[in-house]
Amino acid sequence: MDLKAMETVQNTEVIQIKRALLSVSNKSSLVELAQVLAAKNCEMISTGGTRRVLEEAGMSTVEISEVSGNPEAFGGRMKTISFNVESALLFDREKDASEATALNIEAIDLVVCNLYPFKKVWEKGGSFEEQIENIDIGGPTMIRAAAKNFKYVAVLCDPNDYDWVQKEIEEMGGLTYASRKKLMVKAFELTADYDAFVSTVMSAAIGQKTVRMTFEEGIPLRYGENSHQAAHFYREKGADISIYDIEILNGKALSYNNILDINAAIEAINDAPAKHACSIIKHSNPCGFSEGAEQLATLELAWQGDPISAFGSIIAFNQTLSLETAEFFKIKDEDRSKRKFIEVIIAPDFDKDALTYLQQNKNLRVLRFDPRKLNETKKDYRYLNGSLLEQDADQIPSHELSSVTDLSTDLDREKALIEFGLRAIKNIKSNAIAIVRRKGSYFQLLGMGAGQPNRLIATQLANEKSKANLRNEFSGEEKDFEVYLKEEMGNAYLISDAFFPFADNVELAATFGVRKIVQPGGSIRDKDLIAACNRLGISMVFTGTRHFKH
């Protein structure tokens, strides 16, 4: 028989479940499973509480001590661990058959077991002694033994699998090789995760910081940062919320860079208090950012922040996307020059006609994900060549603002706009400068400088971009532009992610007409900066909080 034929036979080989061992902490759906086994004349061996539940449901069971040859002892710490039980699971049904007979070992074909609820006890604040008592020993031993011998034994450790296992037993009288192999993998994942969590908690008990993370469901991406790099995307096991869960409604497969920018777009608006928020991301930086009362107007203002960089961008919204907003992109306009090329649109949902409209572009990725789900994130991690960085997520619900210059700021009136600017700056790569303004009832990122090793260059870039954007929107006579520029820049706020080391940043901003600056403060030259602001007629607000994003 050739290898392919052998594999086919192996994958369809069914083992009959003649004898099963049931010992579970989580007893949900247990009785229904046992009833299916009983209907197939399966002998059921059981322990303590599991046995009581089954017998109360009218099913006969064999007490574990009759198989182990030993009583349950030490308050239940010893029940299943024995030569007889583990041998019944581990012996090779072909090579070891005669030895098993000589030793009076009868095969067990199925183990149904889940583990003591150590994690739940820990989460509920159980004492150290309670935690210790809920470290399962016999359960992992049985599960691993059955999983190792999956060629002959099935192991069932997740009640979510009971339904399909029951159906297969009912239809086929047992479980196929493929099913046993699938259950084997899940069993080893369970014991690995269980031991990892116990180890982490025990390490913390003696003051050691340990992180053990598991990622699963890896899927290939189109490519990595560059086309010659392979890439995969994984979901953190057990995470309540994951970017992995984005729902692709249209378009090409995602690349590594797409995922990074999608994450940046979602993070930029996940904590927006406004009814509508829009972020436009290019190379992980918001090149457009706006908040306000109407979705289309919010998008238009975000787009105006940098129409050139918005080409090929990732755009996220915090509300269901309307057809009116979708039509802004003119994806099928007869005049191709009017079509706005973007890579990805993300929203919590899409009006039916909006989705239909966007799906006309077969390459445009349309993703369903609610950015607001991420505002519970507690930690950030970054893997670096055999090491891991961990930090608290940069979440500051409200800053302690203080006006520090002769020209004071009405913080009650201006706080909302300043906080908008701080939400923008904490999502821009440092060194970062953002210039934000109020446009009617909307807030807009007017210009930004990102990722510069020199803060003065970031200040220059942010001001130049703001001036260029104001030039683009100005519709009056050329001779009046400087007046308009001075008025708009004078009412805008320049936000810095970290303190200014020298007064040259203030002096440069003043040449563009900036009259309002917000920065963390904390430099040894703060007095020099305040003096420069007073001399130039600039108000300055300290936030007390730095927002670097490396």
**HEC sequence for 45-63:** EECHHHHHHHHHCCCCCEE
Q: Which pair of structure tokens corresponds to residue 4?
A: 């392919």
Give the 3-state secondary structure of residue 510.
helix
pLDDT for the residue 419? 94
Q: Which pair of structure tokens corresponds to residue 125?
A: 């604040």
Architecture of domain 396-542 in this structure? 3-Layer(aba) Sandwich (3.40)
At 120-143, the pLDDT tens digits run: 999 999 999 999 999 999 999 999
pLDDT for the residue 346? 97
User: Per DSSP, which regions of 342-425 are E strands?
Assistant: 342-347, 365-368, 379-384, 387-392, 402-403
What gap in Å lies between CA 390 and CA 399, rounded to an integer?
23
Distance of CA 294 to the CA centre of its chain: 28
b/e for 45-78, b at 16 or more Cβ within 10 A?
bbbeebbebbeeeebebeebeebbebebeeeeee
Of 119-128, 376-385, 516-525, least confident by mean pLDDT is: 376-385
Mapping DSSP onto H, E and C, the string for 301-342 reads HHHHCCCCCCCCEEEEECCCECHHHHHHHCCCCCCHHHCCCE
Confidence of residue 396 (pLDDT cuts 50, 70, 90): confident
Q: State the chain's mean pLDDT as an integer.
A: 92
At 254-306, the pLDDT tens digits run: 999 999 999 999 999 988 887 999 999 999 999 999 999 999 999 999 999 99
The Cα-based distances of 259 to 64, 221, 244, 379, 533 in angstroms read 52, 9, 9, 19, 42
3.40.50.1820, 3.40.190.10, 3.40.50.720, 3.40.140.20: CATH of 216-376: 3.40.140.20
Q: Are 114 and 24 in contact (CB under 8 A)?
A: yes
CATH class of 12-205: alpha beta
Residue ranges per domain, the chain? 12-205, 216-376, 396-542
Confidence of residue 6 (pLDDT cuts 50, 70, 90): very low
What gap in Å lies between CA 463 and CA 35, rounded to an integer?
74
Average pLDDT over residues 6-30: 80
CATH fold match for the domains 12-205 and 396-542: no
The Cα-based distances of 301 to 74, 210, 371, 443 in angstroms read 70, 45, 20, 8
pLDDT exceeds cutoff 80 at 341: yes
What gap in Å lies between CA 232 and CA 251, rounded to an integer?
18
- The pTM of this model reads 0.84
Q: Would you name the residues annotated as active-site residues?
A: 148, 283
DSSP 370: -
Percent of the chain with pLDDT over 70: 97
User: Per DSSP, which regions of 357-500 are E strands?
Assistant: 365-368, 379-384, 387-392, 402-403, 433-439, 442-449, 493-496
pLDDT for the residue 5? 46
Confidence of residue 1 (pLDDT cuts 50, 70, 90): very low
What gap in Å lies between CA 500 and CA 333, rounded to an integer?
47
Q: Are 456 and 479 in contact (CB under 8 A)?
A: no
Distance of CA 304 to the CA centre of its chain: 30
pLDDT for the residue 12? 56
Average pLDDT over residues 225-247: 92
Q: Which pair of structure tokens corresponds to residue 334?
A: 């007869």
pLDDT exceeds cutoff 80 at 11: no
Give the 3-state secondary structure of residue 20.
strand
**What are the percentages of helix, strand and coil residues in the chain, rounded to 5?**
45, 20, 35
What gap in Å lies between CA 112 and CA 122, rounded to an integer?
24
Identity of residue 403: S
pLDDT exceeds cutoff 90 at 76: no
What gap in Å lies between CA 308 and CA 407, rounded to an integer?
36
pLDDT exceeds cutoff 70 at 240: yes
The Cα-based distances of 144 to 29, 66, 195, 464 in angstroms read 23, 22, 12, 64
pLDDT exceeds cutoff 60 at 8: no
Q: Which pair of structure tokens corresponds to residue 371?
A: 């950015």
pLDDT for the residue 22? 95
Average pLDDT over residues 483-505: 93
Mapping DSSP onto H, E and C, the string for 212-243 reads CCCEEEEEECCCCCCCCCCCEEEEECCCCCCH
Confidence of residue 7 (pLDDT cuts 50, 70, 90): very low
Q: Are 325 and 354 in contact (CB under 8 A)?
A: yes
Q: In whole angstroms, how large is the CA radius of gyration of the chain? A: 32
